Structure formats: structure tokens, C-alpha cells
Chain A
């Protein structure tokens, strides 16, 4: 997932009145992506924030003559520096690319959601509050006083039922009204003064005001960073490392750090708590006051019925059944992926064989162009589509369902203890489960880890998880020809290696394991449109990036085979492949190709076998298959994974890891080969 910025459709002369840039912000799981999908439909792109490993969802929409550019920000709880997502979000919101924010708020959980709203307020960007899940609130007979909310926040507040698309387009109508009310110079927008209910207690507020005045003395320098000075003052008080960096960079403003430090100390002494506790408590107190004013509970009776979601939650976090279910889920991911994949792959294979016969009949089987273009190009295409794509799509589908339903945090809860053995906390299980499909998003997903140390360990663990590509190789060889027992044998070795590597990394890497702090949101029925669109977007990326590569490589390989150019490489690698691993000599170059994409090892092997008129079982002995699969499973992660590991950590580390994994793979492969020879000669 190399970073790429989405193409913007051109605003044809006079077609649109104006472009309105909107950022959707809010806590995780409040229905942000549902609203995003309702608004932008299929015209959306997944990319990366420039230079960052955070995913950027962007979409476009033509509405009432305006051109809307909507960015779905990652779900976060605050605007501190806890994660990269928080930093990316706050930097983006204050940049010139945003005209207004839509803050999506879950009506059923105002307390926590409004905390984030309070943080957004300090960024002084025009904002609309969208209160989602109003239907559930109504069902619980709870009323929300929208007029009071608007009066308190001095912002438009709108009810939304995102899943049914109710109120979603009204958000944009409101946005248009706001934009049209601006003077021709947008930047002259005046953000309303904070009412007393929105500001901090007297002591904190005075310190913030004093500090703001101090900061404003160097307005010209500070304005380059786009943040409002009050926000900077609060963050300086909170000892926010990113903001401190800004102040350290300027000669004139450096003194503010010292002032903030003194203020902080005064406040901490006065309240007897640390600054973050003071500020958070005051915000939560204000929220409490707001909720008392705006929430009216109509029905006295409490809903005591345990819902289905609660029961599922209880079962999936149960100390025995939870693990059983986790095992079933992991098995289910593979089972679903491969049942669907095998079925579709079989259809395509049949089609290719039928077509091949026609082509051979027409042009002759020994025609060199037939070999290069048909066997190499078209064969490669069918190999990629029928051997890989048919597995990738169902996998993405099932992962999206797991993600959207809310199962993954449960797995983290259950696995936290085991993960501590490897020096990371439970959340690592999430990228590892993603790794069952593809190691690239898995390693990218390791950004959810909080510290450098955990990130470093997590990327290694995730890169060792057998991905769908590796699975196609293993299923296509061992699964197809040798059966379930040997499949389990391979997986046992693979997962033992993961555990062992994690253990060693934990022991050798300096630092200690941090602790899990994670929200576990309620289960919900996955949203059909979000899932289908996400699946499609992710598959599209695969189609555009991997398919052309596979076809080109297929043709190149066929040409090389025809020219007998592969022999030297194979001979150089022969001591390793033939002597140490006991594999056929041709596999040397395939293993090299496998670095590009692991499934190529099997795809190319199949192409070779078919060009020689053999089946795979005639090409390789069972023990060779086992060794070949094992080496493919464990040796250097594919090229894209190495790149993403380097991006998450650094190139030196990525290369070290690759070398380590090659060594482990060769070691185990050799042991099995010689072990087999030893036992058969006994």
C-alpha cells in the first residue's frame, strides 16, 4: 500500500459553484464510515497520508451545485500525541485543506463523544455536530434538546440515523448554508467565544489566557503552524511533545516552554493532581453539566433485557468458549476463503484448459509465440486471477465483516496474556489476523501499537503469519497432494517459529512491554454497504498493483525458459536448493521470484509443470513439497512486506529481519530434509 494521492476529477469551467472540503471526525465506531459511504457512494479512494502509515479515506460528491471533497479521518478519542492517527488528524484539520468539520457523535454515548468535541472546539475550525443513532435513543424513550445543544455550542447540531441515511444530506445542506454565509474571504470566519460551560475552571482558564497572551506576542512566527494560540497554550500546559517541538524550533518562542512549565507546576500543586487529570476532569465535569441540561429521560423503567449482542459478547470473551470461538473464527477465515476461492478457481482453471486446447489446435503447441504469450501471459493472468484473486476477495470480505461487527477487540482481550510472552500486548493479534490475508496491510496495521518497541516486534510477528498467498502455495501443494496431517504439521512449525521469535525478541530488545488500553465496542450487525465497498476498494488495489506484475513476470519467465537463461541462477543457488534443501534445481529461481510475491513460487511451478506436460506430483516428491512449502512460508517476507516494515521502522531493521527469516527458513528446511534422509536410511 504505497502512498498515492487520489486523482481529483476536474472542476470543469463553471460546473460547480465552489468546492467544499469537509473532514469527518469522531470517536471510533460512531458511524462515521457509514455516513461517509452514504455521502460518497463508490467515488472514494483509500490512500495513505503523505509520508505517514495512516490510512486516508477520501471521497467526492456533487450536491446542489457544489463539489464536496470529503475526508474520513481515523476514529480517535482525543487530539493528543497518543497515536500517529491523532497527530495526523489535528494537523489536517487546521490545514488550509479543510473548510469545515462534521463531528459525528454517538447519541447513545454522549459523555465520551463530547470529550472529543471539546478538543475539536479548540481548533477553531467551523464545525457541524451530527448526532447519530437517534433511532436507538428514541427507542429508549430518551429525548435530546437540540436547541439547547446549539445554544451551548453555538454550532449547528443535526440528528442523523446513518444506517438508514436519514439526515445525512441535511448535513451538506447545512454546510452549504454556512459556506454561503461567509464573506468572500473565507478566512474571516469568526469562531464564537466559548461560553462559560465550555471553558475550564477559573485557575486553569487564567493560566491558559496568560499563556495565550504570551504566545500571541510572536504571532507572526506561530501562525505558520496554523494552530490557534489558545490550542497551543493548552497543549504546552499539557506537555505535548509535538507542540513543544514547535516552540523549541523558534528562538523567540522558546521561553514559552519554561513559562508553561511553571504554570503547570502551580496548577498541579494547587489541585494535587497531574495536569492531564485536571484538564480531563474539568472537561468531563462540563460535559456532565451539559448532559443534565440536554438529555431528558422520558421513561422511568430501566431496560434490563439482555440483548443478543450482550450474549454474543459474553460468549466470545468467555474464559473457555471464547478461545474455542477464536479458533473457529481463524479456521473459518481460511475455510471460507478457500471454499469460495477453490470453487471459483476451479471454474477458471477449467476455462483456461478449454481455451488452451483451442489455441494449441489453431496455432500449434510448439509455436514459440504461443508459449510466450499464451502460456506466459495468459497463463500468468489466469494463474493470478484463479490462483490468487479468487482467494483475496473472499478474505477481504470476511475480515471486513469481523472488523465491522466488532469481533477483533475480543480476540485482543483473550490473547493479551499470550502476547505478553512475546513482549507485546493483545492488540497485536489484530494485525496478525489481518496477516492471514496479506502481510502488507498486517504490517501497516501495526501502527496501532503504541511504542516503537511493540511496533518492531509486531511487524516481525505479523510478517511471519502465513498469508493467503502462502496459503495458496501450501494448499496447492501439500494440501492438495499430501492431505490434512501434513498441513497441520506445517502450521505447527510456523506458529512455533512465531512464538519462539517473539520470545527471543522480547528477551533481546531493550525496554518493557506496555499495557493494553482499548475500547471494546458493542457488537452490531455489519453494515452491508460499508463492507462491500471496503472489500471492493481493497481488492481493486490488489488488481491494479499485483496483476500486471504477475502477467509481466509470467511472460519474462517464459522467455527466460525459452532462452535457457535460468540455468546459471539455478546453478548458483544449487548448493542451497539441491544440497541443503534437497529440492529440484529449477526451484532456485522460483524462490527468488517468490520474494516479489510468494504465490509466484507455485504459479511459476505450475507453469513449468504444464509446459513440461507433468503434474506437480510428478515434478516433486512429497518431502520436497513439504520442504518447499516450509521455506516459502518462512523465508524473507515478500518485497512489499519488506518495504512496509522499513516504513514502519527503518531499512536496517527490515533487512535484519529478512536475513533472520531466511536463516530460520533454511535452517528448518535443511533439518527436515536431512532428518527425512536420516530416518529413511535407518
Chain B
């Protein structure tokens, strides 16, 4: 979907210097067990407020735990708790991955 989006300012994390720009996906596209950083939440007022109160704001680290079968919801680990997000809302959360874009 948005695999080709780049954002330079988020290139270096955890003190590790890497080449290339990090890959940006929506949360639904991430693999099980992948740790990612929230870039943007693209939802409406209510959902966005709810997610913000639960700690899902830009810059926060999220661990994707698993997703339910038949395109069901996904389970993430954020701020010390497991949260379940419906696929629709999860696809509106843009995240930055550890891997970098391939050239």
C-alpha cells in the first residue's frame, strides 16, 4: 500500500546507525512479532482520542503479537498491555519498521 513512503528524520533509532530509510507500512501489514514505531494515526476524532488515551501516539513502540484468522483483528503489545484492534482501525495506523527500504 504505502510501502514506498519515505521519511528521513526517523532514520536512526536506538543509537544504531543504518543505511537507507526505514520501511513504512500500516500496522496490518506487519509480521507477527515485529516491533515498530507509530508514525501517524489516521482515524477520526473518537477513535483517535481513544487510541491516544491508550498510549497509541506518534513515536510509541508497538509489538505486533498476532492476528486473528479470516482477516480478523490484530493483537498488539503497547505500554505494558495487550490491546486488540479491529483490522479497520489497525490499517489506519502508520508505522515505521526496523527494516529499511530496498533499493
Query: Is B50 among interface residues, defined by CB-CB distance under 8 A?
Result: yes
Query: Is B10 among interface residues, defined by CB-CB distance under 8 A?
Result: no
Is there contact, CB below 8 Å, between B84 and A518? yes
Is there contact, CB below 8 Å, between A77 and B54? yes
Alpha-carbon distance between A629 and B83 when the two chains are bound, in angstroms:
41
Name the one of A416, A417, A518 contacting B83, with C-beta atoms under 8 angstroms.
A518
Given contacts A425-B86, A515-B87, 5 further A-B contacts (CB under 8 A): A276-B53, A280-B53, A409-B84, A416-B86, A519-B81
Query: Is B41 among interface residues, defined by CB-CB distance under 8 A?
Result: yes
Alpha-carbon distance between A577 and B23 when the two chains are bound, in angstroms:
67
Interface window among A40-48, A109-117, A140-148, A330-338: A109-117
Q: Which of A495-533 contact B (CB under 8 A)?
A: 514-522
Name the one of A277, A319, A514, A521 contacting B52, with C-beta atoms under 8 angstroms.
A277
Query: Is A542 among interface residues, defined by CB-CB distance under 8 A?
Result: no
Show 11 residue pairs from A and B whose CB-CB distance is below 8 angstroms, ordered by the A residue.
Answer: A80-B53, A112-B55, A112-B80, A273-B58, A277-B52, A279-B52, A413-B84, A416-B73, A520-B75, A521-B81, A521-B82
Q: Which of B87-103 contact A (CB under 8 A)?
A: 87-89
Query: Nearest chain-B residue to A512 (Cβ)?
Result: B88
Shortest CB–CB separation between residue B45 and chain A, in angstroms?
Answer: 7
Query: Given the complex, which residues of B lie within 8 Å of A518, measured CB to CB?
Result: 83-84
Query: Is A82 among interface residues, defined by CB-CB distance under 8 A?
Result: yes
Is there contact, CB below 8 Å, between A417 and B53? no
Q: Evaluate whether A284 and B41 lie within 8 angstroms (CB atoms) in the complex, with A416-B68, A516-B84 already known.
A: no
Alpha-carbon distance between A413 and B72 when the two chains are bound, in angstroms:
8
Is there contact, CB below 8 Å, between B58 and A520? no
Alpha-carbon distance between A417 and B47 when the two chains are bound, in angstroms:
19
Is there contact, CB below 8 Å, between A280 and B75? no
Is there contact, CB below 8 Å, between A109 and B59? no
Query: Is B12 among interface residues, defined by CB-CB distance under 8 A?
Result: no
Q: Lowest 10 A-B CB distances belong to which pairs?
A: A515-B86, A516-B86, A280-B52, A515-B89, A319-B69, A417-B72, A276-B49, A78-B53, A109-B80, A520-B82
Query: Given the complex, which residues of A lie within 8 Å of B18, measured CB to CB?
Result: none
Q: Evaluate whether A412 and B88 lie within 8 angstroms (CB atoms) in the complex, with A80-B49, A281-B57, A520-B75 already known.
A: no
Alpha-carbon distance between A615 and B83 when the two chains are bound, in angstroms:
54
Query: Is A239 among interface residues, defined by CB-CB distance under 8 A?
Result: yes
Query: Is A53 among interface residues, defined by CB-CB distance under 8 A?
Result: no
Query: Given the complex, which residues of B lie within 8 Å of A416, measured CB to CB?
Result: 68, 72-73, 84, 86
Digitize A66-77: 1 where CB-to-B-CB distance is under 8 Å, 0 elsewhere: 000000000001
Query: Given the complex, which residues of A lie within 8 Å of B3, measured CB to CB?
Result: none
Query: Is B46 among interface residues, defined by CB-CB distance under 8 A?
Result: yes
Query: Is B48 among interface residues, defined by CB-CB distance under 8 A?
Result: yes
Q: How large is the interface on B (under 10, 10 to 19, 20 to 34, 35 or more residues)?
A: 35 or more
Query: Given the complex, which residues of B lie within 8 Å of A110, measured CB to CB?
Result: 80
Query: Given the complex, which residues of B lie within 8 Å of A417, measured CB to CB?
Result: 68-73
Q: Evaluate whether A281 and B58 lie within 8 angstroms (CB atoms) in the complex, with A276-B48, A416-B73 already known.
A: yes
Query: Given the complex, which residues of B lie within 8 Å of A445, measured CB to CB?
Result: none
Alpha-carbon distance between A238 and B46 when the two chains are bound, in angstroms:
11
Digitize A373-408: 1 where CB-to-B-CB distance is under 8 Å, 0 elsewhere: 000000000000000000000000000000000000
Query: Given the complex, which residues of B lie within 8 Å of A77, measured CB to CB?
Result: 53-54
Shortest CB–CB separation between residue B94 and chain A, in angstroms?
Answer: 13
Is there contact, CB below 8 Å, between A515 and B57? no
Is there contact, CB below 8 Å, between B73 and A274? no
Q: Which of B15-62 contact A (CB under 8 A)?
A: 41, 45-55, 57-60
Query: Is A426 among interface residues, defined by CB-CB distance under 8 A?
Result: yes
Is there contact, CB below 8 Å, between A108 and B83? no
Query: Is B79 among interface residues, defined by CB-CB distance under 8 A?
Result: yes
Is there contact, CB below 8 Å, between B83 and A517? yes
Digitize A228-239: 1 where CB-to-B-CB distance is under 8 Å, 0 elsewhere: 000000000011
Alpha-carbon distance between A239 and B84 when the two chains are bound, in angstroms:
26
Shortest CB–CB separation between residue A75 and chain B, in angstroms?
Answer: 13
Name the one of B48, B49, B83, B87 contacting A519, with C-beta atoms under 8 angstroms.
B83
Q: Evaluate whether A112 and B88 lie within 8 angstroms (CB atoms) in the complex, with A319-B69, A413-B73, A414-B68 already known.
A: no
Query: Given the complex, which residues of A lie within 8 Å of B79, measured CB to CB?
Result: 109, 111-112, 284
Name the one of A109, A112, A238, A520 contacting B84, with C-beta atoms under 8 angstroms.
A520
Query: Is A317 among interface residues, defined by CB-CB distance under 8 A?
Result: yes
Query: Given the complex, which residues of A lie within 8 Å of B58, measured CB to CB?
Result: 273, 277, 281
Is there contact, CB below 8 Å, between B82 and A519? yes
Name the one of B47, B68, B88 contacting A319, with C-beta atoms under 8 angstroms.
B68
Is there contact, CB below 8 Å, between A280 and B68? no
Query: Is B6 among interface residues, defined by CB-CB distance under 8 A?
Result: no
Is there contact, CB below 8 Å, between A515 and B83? no
Is there contact, CB below 8 Å, between B80 and A111? yes
Query: Nearest chain-A residue to B66 (Cβ)?
Result: A317
Query: Nearest chain-B residue to A282 (Cβ)?
Result: B57
Alpha-carbon distance between A111 and B55 when the two chains are bound, in angstroms:
9
Is there contact, CB below 8 Å, between B84 and A82? no
Alpha-carbon distance between A82 and B58 when the two chains are bound, in angstroms:
21
Query: Given the complex, which residues of A lie within 8 Å of B75, measured CB to CB?
Result: 317, 413, 520
